Amino acid sequence: MPNIIKLATWNVNSARLRLPSIERFIKEESPDVLGLQEIKCQEDQFPFEAFHALGYEHIHVAGQKGYHGAATVSKLPMTRMDTDFCPLGHARHVSSQITANKHNFEFHNFYIPAGGDVADPVVNDKFQHKLDFIAAMTNYFTQRAAKGDDRLVLVGDFNIAPGEHDVWGHKQLLKVVSHTPLEVEVLARLQNTYGFIDCSRRHIDDAEKLYSWWSYRARDVMKSNRGRRLDHIWVSPALAGAVDTLGRDGHAIHVPCRIWDKPSDHVPMTQLIDLSKI
């Protein structure tokens, strides 16, 4: 087992329909652990065999019929954790304790609610649900943070682009769900519980545009390039050294996946973790 492992996250918008693309991504990038969101199937419909054939022996699925859903597939041994964040009972999260070279870390895979169209919790239940879901995460990690120096990885589709250069047009999107000041604030509050490190910005300047999602509705999606950085990989401070070994080269947002055949509207991202530094 090498000392450097690769973690990945991808909102695939249907695990079954996207399976050929997922297989291609795995062959190109060989992640050791891959968190999937929006699998859009029940657990018994998840393509376990395809992942087993690619060496992912360990699979945790939180599925439901038709909508949402998260799954984590891993080459490394995992133990399922018992956590719950969704007030509506949606399958939007799966937490796993992972063992790598005798080191343990937790891998929390999230699909935070998108929040509907109107950025007002009074008139839009979906926006309120998004805030409630993030509040449940914040409560959980606040309690955890009081106890010690845990090795945590949080990944997934957070459905919030926090920074000015995490969207194609900051001013144009200030009232658009995913980039409102209120969402940015509650995400920062979640991040502050542990002082989570935003891996995409660890070695890339805040002024550089970074996107992980582009609407299906856009024409000439890559030419117009009206993207948002909705997907995230965060690590707790105990893993800071483990993400710094390779600097900027340790992280990647795999933009070309957006123009593969039958693409997801999100692209995957990867982060290397140097186990010798934990």
- Give the binding site for DNA (CB under 7 A): 13-14, 16-17, 38, 40-41, 65-68, 113-116, 126, 159, 216-217, 262
* 167 DSSP 8-state letter: B
Provide the minimum distance between the beta carbon of 116 and DNA in the complex, in angstroms, as a whole number: 6
Which residue, 216 or 248, is less far from DNA as judged by CB? Answer: 216
Dist. CA 131–CA 139, nearest whole Å: 12
Provide the minimum distance between the beta carbon of 66 and DNA in the complex, in angstroms, as a whole number: 3
Provide the minimum distance between the beta carbon of 93 and DNA in the complex, in angstroms, as a whole number: 13
Provide the minimum distance between the beta carbon of 27 and DNA in the complex, in angstroms, as a whole number: 20
Which residue, 12 or 152, is less far from DNA as judged by CB? Answer: 12
Which residue, 3 or 14, is less far from DNA as judged by CB? Answer: 14
Dist. CA 229–CA 168, nearest whole Å: 9
Which residue, 52 or 65, is less far from DNA as judged by CB? Answer: 65
Provide the minimum distance between the beta carbon of 219 and DNA in the complex, in angstroms, as a whole number: 8
Torsion of CA 208, 214, 219, 225, to 10 degrees: 0
Which residue, 170 or 262, is less far from DNA as judged by CB? Answer: 262
Dist. CA 52–CA 40, nearest whole Å: 20
Rounded to 5 degrees, φ, ψ at 138 are -65, -40
Q: Containing H/E element for 185?
A: helix 181-194
Rounded to 5 degrees, φ, ψ at 192 are -75, -15
